[in-house]
Structure 1
Amino acid sequence: MPLALHLGTDDLTRCRFAISPLCQTHEALRMLRRPRRHGYHRSWLRRVRRTVDGLDLALLWLFVAPPGGYTPDFLGAPPEVPYPAFDDELARMRATDPALAHAEMTRSLACTPGLIDSPRGRAALDDPAATVRRLADLTERAWHALLAPDWPRHRAVLEADIAQRSRRAADGGLDALLTGLHPTVDWADRTLTLRRYADVADAQRPDGRGVLLMPSVFVWPDVVSGFARPWQPTVIYPARGMGRLHTAPEPRPPQALGRLLGHQRAAVLAGLTAPSSTTELARRHGLALSSVSAHLSVLRETGLLESRRQGHYVLYARTALGDALVEGDAGPGTA
């Protein structure tokens, strides 16, 4: 039986989005445990493989389970605010109640026969507070080595997904939002059904707190739902546009688009498969910064691009109109 989340009236008014750098870190590590599911991220994996091998993440690997297992929820607890900073999430992880950590780690280790009674398993459970501190230290190391350098672009992709889905909700209501999360997620009769997920006896059900929706760059091709209390029910799904984040080469603009906008301007628009800065676009297309800035200004004024500041950078992304112009009749996809 698939996992079915029945949403009451209170749940429907409390559905929300969030972006979690802590969750993204653990999803990236989980993806490394799925050798046949790397898909869109092969170039990123080739780039970070040597870094991963030098991090000594043995304790994290003990709990970052492959599909079908259980990863302790405190490793990536649903954020309480829409856009938490990594340091704030890490501090929350460090403050995990040792009793809760012990219960969740026990459940995770029990997924692998013999692991809970192994020396490694017993050592982790004997002092759960110390284990939480060590897991937090390793998570911080993984974050800085694997995700922090690329985080502005990753966050921009996730924010663009939320913006696009929010526009769908504004145009068509909650039905339009929940019917387009993922091909394996169904929405009917106030029930969100995850068809790839097995129903389990202790699956957490919505109880008026709503459902947290979190786009992810690394969760593809799966959809993940959080189970255990006290966390808010959560659905983590592949972000729209995530498949183009690490791919190359740059797409060529349609010839008709080049005639309409000019070759350089059309190339800049077509090349924005993921949010990018002026400097990055200039390097990618071999253009002067002033030329790229001029093209971006025109494209934004005509409604084909939108911009958002991320720290010291301004990142540009195509609007729905820009996507339609570049892709023709191609509809939005999850990747």
Structure 2
Amino acid sequence: MPYHLRLTDEDLLRCRFALSPLWETQEAVRTLGRPDRHGYHVPWLRRARRAARGLDLAPFRLLMPRRGHSPDFMGPPPIGPAATFDEEIARVRGADPEAARADLAMALADTPGALRSPEGRALLADPARTIQHLADLLEAAWQVLIAPDWPRLRALLEADVAFHSRRLASVGLGALLPELDRRISLSGRLLTVAGKPDHGRDLDGGGLVLMPSVFSWPDVVSGFEPPWQPTLVYPARGLAGLWAAPGDRTPDALATLGRLLGRGRAAVLAALDEPATTSALAHRLGLAPSSVSAHLTTLRASGLLLSRRYGHQVHYERTPLGSALLAESGAMDAMDNEGGEGVMGGAGG
């Protein structure tokens, strides 16, 4: 069953990208309790679960159903292309209590047993107090779960926005949307998100926000009813290599990859955390352009890279298979060093 957004010509001209540290904070909380979201984030989870023991996450478990409504005021569409967490949490604190109460009631109704529970009734009894309490909990979660890694997360999200902005200029919105996620499509003025509850909304010239997310993976999140601006949240590019960034890759991990591919090809694959040209890679790695070109050809033929032409330049990027291989080499090395330590089970808090 699809989710539909009906766009006008003005909406097509008012599509914009944005990112949100507040959104990543609430989705990180959600990820702690969702095993289906753990995949790429296992290295982060090892640290986050320990840190989350000091957080009160119980209210979020009532307000974040597996399927259904979550309060829009807790994670509204970003107010700009790169708002700070402080700016966004101030917006949460300024939410209208009566509108927030209706928002909370919808979320509690979608969580089995929550609406009639003592905890749920307490959240609804004094919405002004609940707003401030939830904002305090979100701020604590930000400090513990996201802020230490925000430079890394922001770099990945900004790289996604830069890449897809170029694609938007090159191929247009209709071709771009399926590249963001195969579940999104545009036919004429009708934008469809497959696999969602059957629902429709007229944008009426308000435009559309496209927002990459680290912790929303593997979901595409659509919605935000009036007065919120319609927003599509999609999984950011490069998640497979997020927690194995170049500065964190140990010599042993790169050696593991080198034994599989050869040292030069491994170095080229590891260097492609964002699309790059042959000459840029050669400069970055201190190798001859001819050597880099030969490595790129082999990696592309093996399905680990793909190339895209922009004007006179060809940019190379990792395929999901290439990113998975790179992440797996680091994970195998980490497991060897930890003596095969398993991942902790259960939700944080």
1:252 corresponds in structure 2 to: 257
Structure 2 length normalisation: TM-score? 0.74
> In 2, Cα distance between the equivalents of 1:331 and 1:228?
38
Aligned ranges 1:219-234 → 2 under 5 Å: 219-234=216-231
What per-residue deviation string (whole Å, max 9, x for no partner) do you get for residues 118-157 of structure 1?
Answer: 2111111111011010100110110110111111110111
Mean Cα displacement is larger for which, 184-193 or 242-251? 242-251
Percent identity at matched positions?
48
> In 2, Cα distance between the equivalents of 1:328 and 1:204?
34
Judge conservation of contact 1:204–1:227 (CA < 8 Å) in 2. Answer: no
What per-residue deviation string (whole Å, max 9, x for no partner) do you get for residues 137-188 of structure 1?
Answer: 1101101101111111101111111111111112222223223110111222
Partner AA of 2:31 in structure 1: M
Aligned ranges 1:239-318 → 2 under 5 Å: 239-247=236-244, 249-250=253-254, 252=257, 263=264, 269-272=268-271, 274=273, 296=284
**Cα distance, 1:60–1:328 mapped onto 2, change above 3 Å:** closer
What per-residue deviation string (whole Å, max 9, x for no partner) do you get for residues 228-247 of structure 1?
Answer: 21100010000011222124
Q: Which has the higher helix share?
A: 2
> In 1, Cα distance between the equivalents of 2:212 and 2:88?
17
Structure 1 length normalisation: TM-score? 0.77
**Cα distance, 1:18–1:257 mapped onto 2, change above 3 Å:** farther
**Partner-residue secondary structure (3-state), 2:55:** coil
**Cα distance, 1:107–1:39 mapped onto 2, change above 3 Å:** same
What per-residue deviation string (whole Å, max 9, x for no partner) do you get for residues 31-58 of structure 1?
Answer: 2221233111112112211111221221
| Structure 2 unpaired stretches of 5+ | 275-281, 293-306, 328-349
> In 2, Cα distance between the equivalents of 1:225 and 1:197?
8
**Partner-residue secondary structure (3-state), 1:109:** helix
2:181 corresponds in structure 1 to: 182
**Cα distance, 1:198–1:323 mapped onto 2, change above 3 Å:** farther
2:42 corresponds in structure 1 to: 42
1:311 corresponds in structure 2 to: none
Pick the aligned partner of 2:234 from 227, 230, 237.
237
2:84 corresponds in structure 1 to: 85
1:310 corresponds in structure 2 to: none
**Partner-residue secondary structure (3-state), 1:208:** coil
2:205 equivalent to 1:208? yes
| Structure 1 unpaired stretches of 5+ | 276-293, 305-318
- Cα RMSD (Å) of the superposition? 3.3
Cα shift at 1:61 = 2.1
Partner AA of 1:176 in structure 2: A
Judge conservation of contact 2:37–2:218 (CA < 8 Å) in 1. Answer: yes
